[in-house]
């Protein structure tokens, strides 16, 4: 007896369709089988239904297509190019009627003597020889107007290759051509504007360079004659005359400074500034810049706190030492200019793998930075971007009061970027400003260390405390970043959650830089003495007092202020442990306790100031 499954398979229709296929896939399978069946039978595909001939069906289908499609002009011609069928889409686009076009040659639709792409006869010839002509050109409507058409002219042949006629499809491309023309005109106008701007920029740079040179020549002459007078070659001078000569020299030096800025700006604008990119240490350009502005600061009564020492001064970077010094002179001079008498400027340095969000730096780092922080008037938020533009200052109303061209920061930022670095700023009115010079860090072995061969930097300070100091200085930005981030998210400091980084830091960089510098000459035992810790330095006490007052003004509670110092202490001690790894744990703990004592003393001062401000 046959197996039931065998009987079921034998009764199934041949070419059974697999289950689970989509309708589209099944339709393709049927098409393949149908074609194979016809080939196997040696026959032809079934003809059209209802006894209609294939030619008649094709004609009807073409007519329906030509009349139904309205976005294209579709029509037929015989082998001589005479129109034999004119679709409704052709009438709508070309405006010629069927009665007018039937029996007319294709040239009816061309401008006199042909279009941009040729004549009707040439196009028919190309289509007959190659099978098809495609192109674009003007065509004529019934009223004599023209439009821009996209043309496809196809030769029609029978199975034996005999030419039966031509089919033509035309699309009105007038709107697209107009849009293309507008785009081209806009591109041409933009290119011309760019060319004129470059020409004007070159002319401006040449003018600035020429005028600066012409101005420098008489200034040098005036300086020379002033020196001759001072030497007494024209007779002895009294004190009043010498005082006036000193003023002449001072004014000339001021003018020379302005001329140098204009020359630098014109060279940068013209792309004629070249920089060397050698590995170097931070100490030389920082020391040179400080030497150049120290007398200016002393004359105004502004204190400069140099917190770049020890390991921080030895940090390697890639750049041009002279240009780094030039940038720092600009920042320090501006800080002195805009900081009132009795104010303070702090210079610190370190490394960072996460630069300021506003810095446009190529690559992934790490980076070396120099920070110049002042206690001046600060910069309004709306002016922070403008201060790096040419001829701008933080407050244009102060331009005449403080002088200057407004080019210093523009030049400094461009120089920093030429060294693959950048110049950024953080500021707030009434809270001072902090400028950062960012430079690519160089490998440690790329340049000889300034601390090698005897350790000339701070050699009198104990090794452990020097490492503690260096750890705080080098990790300063990381300390501040973690400190601000934690304050903004800690449930115990809700008043900090909506404040900006400048308000939260509140000159903390100055405080920590001075705190680190306090360890320079201390013995470990001395660092823990309560009297010394309680007194601290004048800078630390001033900042701590100011901090308590600021927090009270911002509405902080006493508990929030206490919690803030807990967070600060944890971040500073974490930096110390990251930077000092090769010491005995008990000694490191003792050094950490000394740091915590200093911070506790600052907390006490801030709390006293907070209470007195209530």
Structure-block tokens of residue 420: 């693959």
Structural domains counted in the chain? 3
Name which of 344, 361, 342, 343 is nearest 352 in CA terms.
361
In a domain, 227, yes or no: no
Q: What is the pLDDT of residues 196-253, one digit of tens each?
A: 887 877 777 777 667 666 776 777 777 777 777 877 777 788 888 888 887 887 777 7
Cα 410 to the center of its chain, rounded Å: 16
| 507 or 434, higher pLDDT | 434
**Residue 81 sits in a domain of what CATH number?**
3.30.450.20
537 pLDDT above the threshold of 50? yes
Task: Name the most confidently modeled range: 180-184, 478-482, 511-515, 583-587.
Answer: 180-184
| Last residue of one domain, picked from the residues 208, 232, 254 | 208
What pLDDT does 8 receive? 41
| Last residue of one domain, picked from the residues 410, 440, 470 | 440
532 pLDDT above the threshold of 60? no
| 563 or 358, higher pLDDT | 563
**303 DSSP β-pair partners:** 344
Q: Is the peptide bond before 421 cis (omega within 30 degrees of 0)?
A: no
Structure-block tokens of residue 371: 């920070």
Whole-number percent of the chain with pLDDT over 70? 79
Count of CB atoms situated within 10 Å of the CB of 407: 21
What pLDDT does 133 receive? 94
Dihedral pair phi/psi, residue 146, rounded to 5°: -120, 160
**Do 74 and 194 lie in a common domain?**
yes
**Do 482 and 407 lie in a common domain?**
no
**Do 186 and 85 lie in a common domain?**
yes
Q: What is the average per-residue pLDDT within 545-573?
A: 90
Contact 546, 507 (CB under 8 A): yes
Which residue reads 């004048």 in tokens?
Answer: 538
Contact 384, 427 (CB under 8 A): yes
**Do 465 and 423 lie in a common domain?**
no
In a domain, 335, yes or no: yes
DSSP per residue over 224-250, as a string? HHHHHHHTTTTS---HHHHHHHHHHHH
Whole-number percent of the chain with pLDDT over 90? 16
SS3 370: strand
10 pLDDT above the threshold of 80? no
Name which of 411, 426, 416 is nearest 367 in CA terms.
416
Report the C-alpha gap between 545 and 506 in whole angstroms: 11
In the sheet that holds 344-352, the strands lie side by side as 303-306, 344-352, 367-374, 433-440, 422-427
Please report how the helices 508-518 and 538-553 are oriented relative to each other, as an axis angle in degrees rounded to 10: 150
In a domain, 144, yes or no: yes
Burial of 551 (0-12, 13-18, 19+ CB in 10 A): buried
**Residue 573 sits in a domain of what CATH number?**
1.10.490
**String of b and e for 7-44 (b: at least 16 CB within 10 Å)?**
eeeeeeeeeeeeeeeeeeeeeeeeeeeeeeeeeeeeee
In a domain, 91, yes or no: yes
Report the C-alpha gap between 332 and 288 in whole angstroms: 12
**Which contacts (CB < 8 Å, 24+ apart) does range 22-31 have?**
none
SS3 554: coil
Contact 155, 132 (CB under 8 A): yes
443 pLDDT above the threshold of 70? yes
Which residue reads 């001062």 in tokens?
Answer: 605
| 78 or 399, higher pLDDT | 78
User: For residue 322, what pLDDT band results from cuts at 50, 70 and 90?
Assistant: confident
**Do 329 and 381 lie in a common domain?**
yes
Which residue reads 């009061």 in tokens?
Answer: 401
**Which contacts (CB < 8 Å, 24+ apart) does range 209-214 have?**
209/263, 209/266, 209/267, 209/270, 211/262, 212/259, 212/262, 212/263, 212/266, 213/263
| Last residue of one domain, picked from the residues 208, 235, 262 | 208
Burial of 162 (0-12, 13-18, 19+ CB in 10 A): exposed
**Do 485 and 412 lie in a common domain?**
no
The domain in which residue 394 lies consists of 279-440
What pLDDT does 529 receive? 46
Alpha carbon distances (Å) from 503 to 250, 435, 493, 595 = 39, 15, 14, 24
**Do 371 and 423 lie in a common domain?**
yes
User: For residue 494, what pLDDT band results from cuts at 50, 70 and 90?
Assistant: very high
Structure-block tokens of residue 71: 């976005």
With residue 316 as reference, give the H or E element that holds it.
strand 316-319
What pLDDT does 272 receive? 64
**Do 415 and 527 lie in a common domain?**
no
58 pLDDT above the threshold of 70? no
**Do 334 and 429 lie in a common domain?**
yes
462 pLDDT above the threshold of 80? no
| 425 or 4, higher pLDDT | 425
DSSP per residue over 250-263, as a string? HHHHHHHHHHHHHH
122 pLDDT above the threshold of 90? yes
Q: What is the average per-residue pLDDT within 556-571?
A: 92
- Report pTM: 0.52
Q: What is the average per-residue pLDDT within 103-108?
A: 90
What pLDDT does 405 receive? 57
Task: Name the most confidently modeled range: 19-28, 81-90, 261-270, 511-520.
Answer: 81-90
Dihedral pair phi/psi, residue 304, rounded to 5°: -110, 120
Report the C-alpha gap between 295 and 134 in whole angstroms: 81
Measured at the CA of 139, the angle between CA 135 and CA 143, to 5 degrees, comes to 170
In a domain, 231, yes or no: no
What pLDDT does 1 receive? 44
**Do 309 and 372 lie in a common domain?**
yes
**Do 289 and 358 lie in a common domain?**
yes
Measured at the CA of 182, the angle between CA 178 and CA 185, to 5 degrees, comes to 135
Phi-psi region of 378 (alpha: psi -120 to 50; beta: other; left: phi over 0): left
105 pLDDT above the threshold of 80? yes
**Do 435 and 470 lie in a common domain?**
no
């Amino acid at each position: 007896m046959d197996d039931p499954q065998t009987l079921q398979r034998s009764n199934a229709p041949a070419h059974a369709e697999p289950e689970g296929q989509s309708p589209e896939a099944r339709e393709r399978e049927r098409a393949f089988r149908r074609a194979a069946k016809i080939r196997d039978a040696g026959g032809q595909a079934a003809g059209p239904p209802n006894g209609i001939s294939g030619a008649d069906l094709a004609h009807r289908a073409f007519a329906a297509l030509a009349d139904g499609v309205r976005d294209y002009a579709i029509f037929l011609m015989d082998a001589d190019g005479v129109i034999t069928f004119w679709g409704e889409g052709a009438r709508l686009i070309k405006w010629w009627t069927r009665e007018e076009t039937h029996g007319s040659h294709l040239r009816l639709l061309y401008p006199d003597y042909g279009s941009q792409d040729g004549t009707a006869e040439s196009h028919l010839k190309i289509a007959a020889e190659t099978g098809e002509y495609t192109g674009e050109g003007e065509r004529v409507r019934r009223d004599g107007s023209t439009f821009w058409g996209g043309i496809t002219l196809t030769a029609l042949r029978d199975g034996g290759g005999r030419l039966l006629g031509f089919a033509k499809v035309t699309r009105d491309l007038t709107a697209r051509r107009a849009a293309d023309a507008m785009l081209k005109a806009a591109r041409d106008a933009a290119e011309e504007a760019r060319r004129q701007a470059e020409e004007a920029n070159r002319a401006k740079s040449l003018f600035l360079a020429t005028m600066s040179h012409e101005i420098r020549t008489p200034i040098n002459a005036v300086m020379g004659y002033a020196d001759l007078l001072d030497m007494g070659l024209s007779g002895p001078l009294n004190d009043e005359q010498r005082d006036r000569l000193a003023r002449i020299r001072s004014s000339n030096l001021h003018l020379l400074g302005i001329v140098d800025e204009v020359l630098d700006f014109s060279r940068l604008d013209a792309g004629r500034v070249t920089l060397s990119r050698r590995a170097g240490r931070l100490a030389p350009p920082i020391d040179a810049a400080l030497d150049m502005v120290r007398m200016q600061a002393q004359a105004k009564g502004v204190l400069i706190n140099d917190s770049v020492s020890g390991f921080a001064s030895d940090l390697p970077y890639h750049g041009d030492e002279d240009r780094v010094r030039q940038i720092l002179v600009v920042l320090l001079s501006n800080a002195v200019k805009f900081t009132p008498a009795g104010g303070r400027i702090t210079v610190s340095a370190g490394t960072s793998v996460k630069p300021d969000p506003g810095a446009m730096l190529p690559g992934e780092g790490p980076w070396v930075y120099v920070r110049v922080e002042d206690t001046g008037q600060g910069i309004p938020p709306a002016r922070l971007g403008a201060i790096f533009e040419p001829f701008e200052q933080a407050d244009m109303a102060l331009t005449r009061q403080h002088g200057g061209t407004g080019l210093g920061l523009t030049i400094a930022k461009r120089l920093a970027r030429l060294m693959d670095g950048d110049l950024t700023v953080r500021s707030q009115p009434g809270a001072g400003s902090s400028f950062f010079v960012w430079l690519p860090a160089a490998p440690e072995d790329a340049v000889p260390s300034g601390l090698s061969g005897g350790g000339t930097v701070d050699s009198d300070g104990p090794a452990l405390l020097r490492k503690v100091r260096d750890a705080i200085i080098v990790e300063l930005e990381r300390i501040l970043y973690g400190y601000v981030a934690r304050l903004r998210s800690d449930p115990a400091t809700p008043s900090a959650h909506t404040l900006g980084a400048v308000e939260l830091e509140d000159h903390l960089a100055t405080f920590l830089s001075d705190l680190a510098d306090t360890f320079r000459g201390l013995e470990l035992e001395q660092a823990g003495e309560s009297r010394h810790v309680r007194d601290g330095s004048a800078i630390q006490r001033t900042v701590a007092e100011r901090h308590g007052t600021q927090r009270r003004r911002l509405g902080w509670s006493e508990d929030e202020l206490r919690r803030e110092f807990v967070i600060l202490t944890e971040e500073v001690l974490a930096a110390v442990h990251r930077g000092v790894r090769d010491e005995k744990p008990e000694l490191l703990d003792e050094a950490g306790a000394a740091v915590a004592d200093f911070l506790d003393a600052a907390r006490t001062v801030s709390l006293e100031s907070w209470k007195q401000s209530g």
